[in-house]
Structure formats: C-alpha cells, structure tokens
C-alpha cells in the first residue's frame, strides 16, 4: 500500500516538474526574444504571409474538394474487396501489385496502414507485400498527391507517385529475398475472406461520380499557360469556370438521383472528420515552415545559404542527407508539402526534395518503433536502410533528369 502511494506521488512529481520546465523554457524564450533583430521580425512576417497565401490560393479550390474526394473514397469504396488480394494463397505477383497501389484507397486514414501491415505480414501474403504496402501507402494517398502536385509542381507530384509505387515493389522484393529462409518457415494461415458488401450503385455509376469530382478539382485549378495564349491549354483556361460549373451541376444531379440520404450524411461526416484531423496540423506546419524558411524567394529565420549548402544542387551528399533527415523526422499528414516548399524556395535541389518526399512520410522515428515491435530490430534496420538508399538513388536520378 505504501509503495503504491509512493509510486503515485512520484508520478505527480514528474508531471509537475515537466510543467515547471515548460514554463521556465517559455519564460526564458520571452525574456530573450530577439524582436529587435530584423531577421526575427521578418520571419514572423513571412510565416503569416505564407499562411495568407495558402488560405487564398489553396484552401477553397484545392483542399476542400480534396477532402470531399478522400471522404468519398473512405465511405463508398469497398475496402474489403482489396484485402482479399493479401491472403497467403494469393498469387504473389498480384499481391505485390495490389499492395503497391492500394494505398490510394486504403491509406486515406492513418488507422488502416499499420494494422493492415501487421495483418499482411503475420497472417497473409508475407513480408514482401506487407513492406510494399507499408512503404507506398502514405506516399500515394490522394490528399498527399493532390497537394504535392498543386504546390510543388506536377513533376514532383507524379515522380512521387511513380517512385513510391516502383520502389515499394523493389524494397518489398529485396526484403523478401534477404529473409527468404524465415519467410519459408513462416506458417501461412490466412485466407482473407472479403465480406461481400451489397453495392447500392453499379460500378459505372460510382466511377462517373468519382470522375466528376476529380474533374471539378482539376479544372478549378487549371493554371494559366506560361508561354503563349493559344492552343487547347489556354482554351481550357479561358473557360475553366464554365467547365467547372458544368461538372458541379452534373455532380449535384448525380448526388440527388443516385444517393440515399444516409449515405450522404456519412460522406459529409467523414469529410468533416478529415478536415478536422488535417487542417490544424497543416496550419501549424505552414506557420513553422514560413517562420523558419520563408516564402519562395524570401528568407525566414534560417538563411537560404545554409539550406543551399546542405541540400542544394544534386550531389550525393545532398540527396543522402535529405533522405536520412526525412526518414527520422516526423511529418504530420500533408505538412511535408509546405516544409518542402520552403526548402525548395531557399535553394534545395529538386532531387533532394524528391528524396525527402520518398523517405519522409513513409518513415519517422515513432513509426520505426511501432514497426520494430512487429518486425523485430534486425528487419527494421534493414528496411530503414533500404528506404534511405533507394530514396537517395531516386533523388539523384530525378535531379539529373529534370535538369
């Protein structure tokens, strides 16, 4: 009994100490806050300017439709229909293929990635497909691809998606062959039955529905052509609001005719849940990125020279450094985008940027610890090393190609 009380007071003391240290740190920060320094005040200005730019340019036309699409995927796409491809007796090629692309459907919520990874590894198709899913999932989720393409340019968005798919298969296969002996011994005990959900709409109807949503997103964000005002690209730009409006009306008609009220409510609630989950994190990410790195072409707290020396150009070191930092750092959903925007604006090369995009969202120190609890230390270290090596190589190739 005494021991219990002793333990209890100890816990309380720890908490109080922690609070005290936090208050002390904040106080010291305020005490010596360098508001006289131009660099510091400028960084605050940059931070707010970046937030304003995002609010004006990206929230209404890009983020809001993207949330609706992500919500629709998680409500209306039958996730169980994908899972059957991860069973132990499924054709291995099929397993790898589905694992590498299914993140687009399954990884819209962080709830799905780790349990599914653990399930595929322990009861289903095995280490290779599990790793392929784990790696590609976070990188090809729809929200991440849309934001990357919109803010960092379509080349990086596309390279990110393709890179993630290809390398997830390669890393999965490498892991499989490195641990081939263990894989053979592992008892395979799982067919994953798919619960057949009764579809309320035909596949065609669902596809038209998703297509019109994507069309709204694409045409509302159609960029002004940079070179000359002729050709199809410009024609579409000129009438983009007419086209967007057409698809919007079309979508509203679809919703009225083909959907039940309860379904729409679920869709709205899921979309709202995504927005609630992601917006605060993204907001914080933009504030921090703007404060430290400034808008493109401007400087925040960190001098551009510093960024340029570390990750400028396309050297081996720049790519390797970006991969390692990306692998260990934790990026909350989508925050990698403003951070990379700041880094690129400060002189980071496109190659290292891709390297960071490929190693960053897939891995972080906290996720490594969870993965370690499933795979064990040895496999985790090899997996992390493979991700870093692959990201470095891809970064170098991309940087070399885009020049």
Partner 1 sequence: MKIEILGVGCPKCKALTANVEKAVKELGIEAEIVKVTEISKITDYGVMITPALVINGEVKSAGKVLNVEEIKGFFK
90 lies in the binding site for partner 1 (CB under 8 A): no
Which positions from 272 to 301 touch partner 1 by CB under 8 A, shown as an x/- string?
Answer: -x--xx------------------------
What's the min distance (Å) between Cβ of 125 and partner 1?
12
- The site map against partner 1 for 102-121 (x = CB under 8 A) is ----x--xxxx-xxx-xxx-
Complex with partner 1: residue 72 or 106, whichever CB lies closer: 106
Q: Which of residues 183-202 bind partner 1 (CB under 8 A)?
A: 190, 192
Q: Applying CB under 8 A, what is the total number of residues that bind partner 1?
A: 25
Binding to partner 1 by CB under 8 A, coded x per residue (else -) over 312-341, reads: ------------------------------
- Residue whose CB is less far from partner 1, 118 or 148: 118
- Our CB check for partner 1 shows the closer of 83 and 390 to be 83
Q: Which is nearer to partner 1, 92 or 122 (CB)?
A: 122
Choosing from 42, 81, 97, 122, the residue that interacts with partner 1 (CB under 8 A) is 122
Q: Considering the rule CB under 8 A, would residue 123 count as an interface residue with partner 1?
A: yes
Instruction: Mark residue 299 as left, alpha or beta (left: phi above 0; alpha: psi -120 to 50; beta: remaining).
Output: beta
> Shortest Cβ distance from residue 270 to partner 1 (Å)?
8
Site string for partner 1, 63-82 (x = CB under 8 A): ----------------xx--
Piece in contact with partner 1 (CB under 8 A), picked from 26-34, 334-342, 352-360, 366-374 = 366-374
**Minimum distance from CB of 115 to partner 1 (Å)?**
5
Considering beta carbons, is residue 22 or 111 the nearer one to partner 1?
A: 111
Binding of partner 1 by 386 (CB under 8 A) = no
Interface stretch with partner 1, choices 202-210, 307-315, 343-351, 367-375 (CB under 8 A): 367-375
What's the closest the beta carbon of residue 118 comes to partner 1, in angstroms? 4
108 vs 149, which CB is nearer to partner 1?
108
Residues 6 or more apart whose CB falls under 8 angstroms from that of 291 comprise 43, 44, 46, 47, 300, 301
3-state SS record for the chain: CHHHHHHHHHHHHHHHHHHHHHHHHHHHHHHCCCCCCHHHHHHHHHHHHHHHHHHHHHHHHHHHHHHHHHHHHHHHCCCHHHHHHHCCCCCHHHHHHHHHHCHHHHCCCHHHHHHHHHHHHHHCCCHHHHHHHHHHHHHCCHHHHHHHHHHHCHHHHHHHHHHHHHHHHHHHHHHHHHCHHHHHHCCCCCCCCCCCCCCCCCHHHHHHHHHHHHHHHHHHCCCCCCCCCCHHHHHHHHCHHHHHHHHHHHHHHHHHHHCCHHHHHHHHHHHHHHHHHHHHHHHHHHHHHHHHHCCCCCCCCCCHHHHHHHHCCCCHHHHHHHHHHHHHCCCCCCCHHHHHHHHHHCCCCHHHHHHHHHHCCCCCHHHHHHHHHHHCHHHHHHHHHHHHHHHHHHHHHHHHHHC
* Contacting partner 1 within 245-274 (CB under 8 A): 273
Which residues in this chain contact partner 1 in the complex, by CB under 8 A?
79-80, 83, 86, 106, 109-112, 114-116, 118-120, 122-123, 190, 192, 273, 276-277, 370, 373-374
């Amino acid at each position: 009994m005494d021991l219990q009380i002793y333990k209890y007071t100890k816990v309380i003391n720890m908490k109080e100490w922690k609070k005290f240290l936090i208050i002390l740190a904040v106080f010291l920060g305020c005490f010596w806050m360098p508001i006289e320094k131009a660099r510091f005040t400028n960084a605050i200005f940059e931070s707010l300017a970046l937030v304003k730019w995002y609010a004006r340019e990206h929230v209404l036309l890009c983020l809001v439709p993207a949330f609706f699409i992500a919500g629709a995927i998680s409500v209306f796409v039958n996730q169980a229909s994908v899972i059957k491809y991860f069973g132990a007796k499924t054709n291995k090629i099929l397993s790898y293929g589905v694992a590498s692309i299914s993140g687009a459907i399954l990884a819209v919520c962080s709830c799905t990635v780790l349990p599914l990874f653990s399930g595929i590894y322990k009861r289903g198709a095995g280490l290779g497909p599990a790793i392929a899913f784990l790696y590609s999932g976070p990188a090809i989720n729809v929200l991440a691809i849309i934001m990357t393409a919109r803010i960092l340019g379509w080349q990086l968005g596309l390279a990110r998606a393709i890179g993630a798919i290809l390398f997830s298969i390669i890393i999965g296969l490498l892991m499989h062959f490195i641990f081939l002996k263990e894989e053979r011994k592992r008892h395979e005990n799982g067919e994953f039955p798919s619960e057949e959900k009764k579809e309320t709409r035909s596949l065609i109807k669902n596809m038209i529905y998703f297509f019109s949503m994507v069309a709204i997103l694409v045409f509302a964000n159609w960029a002004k052509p940079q070179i000359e005002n002729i050709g199809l690209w410009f024609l579409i730009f000129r009438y983009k609001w007419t086209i967007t409006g057409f698809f919007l009306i079309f979508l509203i008609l679809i919703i009225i005719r083909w959907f039940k009220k309860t379904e729409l409510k679920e869709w709205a609630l899921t979309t709202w849940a995504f927005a609630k989950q992601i917006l605060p994190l993204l907001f914080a990410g933009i504030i921090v990125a703007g404060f430290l790195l400034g808008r493109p072409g401007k400087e925040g707290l960190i001098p551009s020279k510093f960024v340029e020396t570390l990750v400028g150009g396309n050297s081996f070191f720049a790519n390797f450094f970006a991969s390692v930092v990306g692998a260990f750092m934790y990026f909350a959903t989508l925050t990698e985008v403003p951070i990379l925007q700041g880094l690129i604006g400060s002189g980071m090369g496109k190659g290292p940027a891709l390297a960071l995009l490929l190693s960053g969202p897939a891995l972080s120190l906290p996720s490594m610890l969870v993965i370690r609890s499933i795979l064990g230390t040895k496999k985790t270290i090899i997996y992390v090393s493979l991700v870093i090596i692959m990201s470095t190589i891809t970064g170098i190739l991309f940087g070399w190609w885009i020049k």
